[in-house]
Amino acid sequence: MAEEIILRIGFEQLPVIIGAFLLAAGSAIIISTGNTFLMVTSTNVTRDIFQAFFFKDASSQQIVWIQRATIIGIGVLAYLMMSQFETILEARYANCGRRVNRIGHDHRSWHRRAKRGIS
């Protein structure tokens, strides 16, 4: 519910033309963010894994096709992962909990790592 409040206000409370622009802007932000995540991840996987280890002599056209396939694969994987949660906020809080736990662990053990020279 909280993640949709601005879109709900645009749909229910504002005049139609302003609400339509707000909904279009919200949709554009969501699509742009998803596109960026897919492109950055697929570029990293393509360049750092496929090109470095498997296709060292690939042409630029082959790299583009590998990247397109990687985008589809990562998109399907992301969809399968997100389908495990009811809302986006549940996924965010699940991820945040792991980070907070890791930060707490790092905070408690920094002095032991510093003595051993581990950063």
pLDDT, tens digit, 9 for 90 and up, residues 26-76: 888 888 988 888 888 888 888 888 888 888 888 889 888 989 999 999 889
Cβ atoms of 79 and 37 within 8 Å: the answer is no
Say which residue, 107 or 114, is predicted with more confidence.
114
Which stretch of DSSP H or E encloses residue 96?
A: helix 88-116
Those residues with Cβ within 8 angstroms of residue 88's Cβ, 6 or more apart along the chain or in another chain: 3, 82
Q: Is 18 helix (H, G, I), strand (E, B) or coil?
A: helix
Its pTM stands at 0.58
Distance separating alpha carbons of residues 99 and 92, to the nearest angstrom = 11
Domain ranges of the chain: 2-84, 87-119
